[in-house]
Amino acid sequence: MSHESYLIFNLNHSRYGILATAVQELFFLPEVTAIAVTSGTILGVINLRGKFLPVMDLYRRLEQARPPFQLTDSMIVLEWKTQRIGIIVNQVDSVQAIAPDRIAANVCDRSKESLQNKLLTGIANVEEGIVTLLNPELLVQHAFIETVFNLNSDFNNNGSVNDTLKHSSDSALNQGLYDHFDSQERQILQERTEALRCSVDDEDSASLLPLAVVGLGGEYFGFGLETVHEFTEIHKITPIPCCPPHIVGNINLRGEIVTLININNVVDLPMNGVRLHQQAVVVRLDQRVAGIAVDDIFDVTYVHPSQMTTPPIALNSAKDDYLQGVAPYRDRMMSIINLSKLLTSEALVVNEEV
């Protein structure tokens, strides 16, 4: 039997997997609009390019307490036989091929034929640890309650969907889903929602450059997603003796030791120390893995080449060697960094022998 690929994600400090063939797309958390009549596991809907997408509360479906949403949460769009739903997870990890001999049957009590038991198809033992595998068919089918299905059928054009969601734009607030976000974070959520609402032609879509938007020293930087593996919080740093200043130390990423680097100097920012609760962007380039320390992780966005411009001519800057261009993001310009060139440069040696 051949290996099957699974999308691995984190939820409440546990790791789950779902068949990659059922995953249509994924993006950072947008603002979900509550609807008047839903089941207990449906949070609401979003307008995904002119069509309603029901959003399931996966925590509640798995009978877990739901922590407050974060800007770094992701939404996974699942599709099964033309039906689609969104599920919100803490973090998307990777896509892995798992051999059948690494998957054990569901250890739940088979005498209890509950929906909860049926949703769990098995337990996989992979290098990073235990992964609980979910049944995408049941997740999608049980999310499509009659009211949501009728809502999707009644409003099948852009205008109807937009008008309906505008009339309910404040209803999500009543659920308390976003009360803990400040005004700047709410604006980011709304911008994500607006971006998902817009249709994109196939030709234009193929040209879009996917970027992770991060904050460093009060500035916005864009990292190409082709080298970004995941985002993580920095909990503990193990110092490495006799290393250059840009080598912060090592972090333990689920058993894998990853070197954490500070790129402030090479992008013309002060070499400030790593603050508490700072985050990292984990990047993979060929066989090289590194974590880039950042102040904030804001978004995943798409930039069309027509939006990118050459930076203004100024004094020669070290950043110019790694700068692909600049593009507008929110109220300022974002510097788009070529990570492949940056990580292989002489100015930034990650795997330096000591």
Secondary structure class of 239 (helix, strand, coil): coil
The topology (CATH level 3) of 4-192 is OB fold (Dihydrolipoamide Acetyltransferase, E2P) (2.40.50)
Domain 205-343 in the same topology as domain 4-192: yes
For range 34-45, the mean pLDDT: 72
Decide if pLDDT at 188 tops 70. yes
- Statement: the pTM of the whole predicted model exceeds 0.75: no
Secondary structure class of 53 (helix, strand, coil): strand
Residue type, 265: N
Superfamily of domain 205-343: CheA-289, Domain 4 (2.40.50.180)
Distances (CA, A) of 77 to 136, 142, 150, 200, 328: 11, 15, 20, 17, 27
| CA 133 – CA 116 distance, rounded (Å) | 12
Secondary structure class of 126 (helix, strand, coil): strand
Q: Identify the sign of the CA torsion 299, 233, 74, 72.
A: negative
CA 301 to chain CA mean position, Å: 11
Per DSSP bridges, beta strands 120-126 and 129-134 are antiparallel
Percent helix, strand and coil across the chain, each to the nearest 5:
25, 40, 35
Q: Note the pLDDT tens digit of each residue in 61-115.
A: 898 888 999 988 999 999 988 889 999 999 888 778 888 888 987 655 554 455 5
Residue 312 has what pLDDT?
61
The domains of the chain are located at 4-192, 205-343
CA dihedral defined by 178, 180, 183, 187, rounded to 10 degrees? -40
Nearest CA-CA partner of 14 in 177, 161, 183, 128:
128
Nearest CA-CA partner of 177 in 102, 103, 68:
68
CA 242 to chain CA mean position, Å: 35
For range 244-259, the mean pLDDT: 86
Please list, in sequence order, all residues whose beta carbon lies within 8 angstroms of the beta carbon of residue 23, skipping any fewer than 6 positions away.
Answer: 7, 76, 77, 78, 79
| CA 13 – CA 130 distance, rounded (Å) | 12
Residue type, 4: E
Q: Note the pLDDT tens digit of each residue in 259-283.
A: 999 888 888 887 765 555 578 999 8
Going by pLDDT thresholds of 50, 70 and 90, the confidence category of residue 302 is confident
CA dihedral defined by 15, 17, 23, 25, rounded to 10 degrees? 20
Tokens standing for residue 68: 């407050």
Mean pLDDT of the chain: 78
Per DSSP bridges, beta strands 42-48 and 51-56 are antiparallel
